[in-house]
C-alpha cells in the first residue's frame, strides 16, 4: 500500500495494493498492525458505517465536540469528492481544507484523524460510502461546519448541493471557535 501525505497534519491518502485479473479483484481494506505501523494509527476502530446517497447530496462538514472520531473512509460504489477541514486550534494546518476523489474504481482510502470536520459530495448517480470510526457516534455531541464557509474556502465541484436541514444550519469556523 502507498501512503500519501496531505497538507493537513495527520491526514493521509491510502492507495491499497489491488490484486486483479479477469475474474475480479482483491484488496485488504484494513489490517491493524500495518495501519498502525505505516499510518501511525494507534487508535481502535469501534464502529463501521455505510451510507448511500444520490447525485448532488453533500453530507458534512461533521465532527463531534467531545469524543472526536477518527475516520478511515472509502467508496465501494460510485464516486464522491471527500473533504477534511482542520478545526484543531493548536494545529499547524488549522482552518485549512483538503479534498480527494474517492471512487469504486480508484479504491482510494482517506484517513481523517480525530478533531477534523469531514464531509463529501456525491458526483455519480449513487454512491455507497463506508467508514470505520475510532469513537462511538454521539448525536448530542455532533456539530457541523457550514459547507461553504468563505473563510475556509472549500472548492467543491458542485454549486447547489442537496443538504439536510442539519447541514444547512452549520456554523462558520469563526462561530465554532468562540
The catalytic site residues sit at: 62, 131
Report how far residue 142's alpha carbon sits from residue 151's, in angstroms, rounded to the nearest whole number.
Answer: 21
Please state the φ and ψ torsions of residue 38, each to the nearest 5 degrees: -85, -30
Amino acid at each position: 500500500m502507498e501512503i500519501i501525505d496531505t497538507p493537513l497534519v495527520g491526514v493521509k491518502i491510502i492507495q491499497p495494493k489491488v490484486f486483479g485479473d479477469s475474474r475480479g479483484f482483491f484488496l485488504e481494506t484494513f489490517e491493524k498492525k500495518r495501519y498502525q505501523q505505516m499510518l501511525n494509527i494507534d487508535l481502535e476502530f469501534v464502529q463501521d458505517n455505510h451510507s448511500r446517497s444520490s447525485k448532488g447530496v453533500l453530507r458534512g462538514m461533521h465532527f463531534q465536540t467531545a469524543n472526536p472520531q477518527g475516520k478511515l473512509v472509502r467508496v465501494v460504489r460510485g464516486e464522491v469528492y471527500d473533504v477534511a477541514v482542520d478545526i484543531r486550534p493548536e494545529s499547524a494546518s488549522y482552518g485549512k481544507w483538503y479534498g480527494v476523489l474517492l471512487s469504486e474504481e480508484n479504491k482510494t482510502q482517506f484517513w481523517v484523524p480525530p478533531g477534523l470536520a469531514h464531509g463529501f459530495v456525491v458526483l455519480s448517480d449513487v454512491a455507497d460510502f463506508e467508514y470505520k470510526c475510532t469513537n462511538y457516534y454521539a448525536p448530542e455531541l455532533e456539530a457541523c461546519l457550514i459547507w461553504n464557509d468563505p473563510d475556509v474556502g472549500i472548492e467543491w465541484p458542485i454549486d447547489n448541493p442537496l443538504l439536510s436541514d442539519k447541514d444547512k444550519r452549520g456554523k462558520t469556523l469563526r462561530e465554532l471557535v468562540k
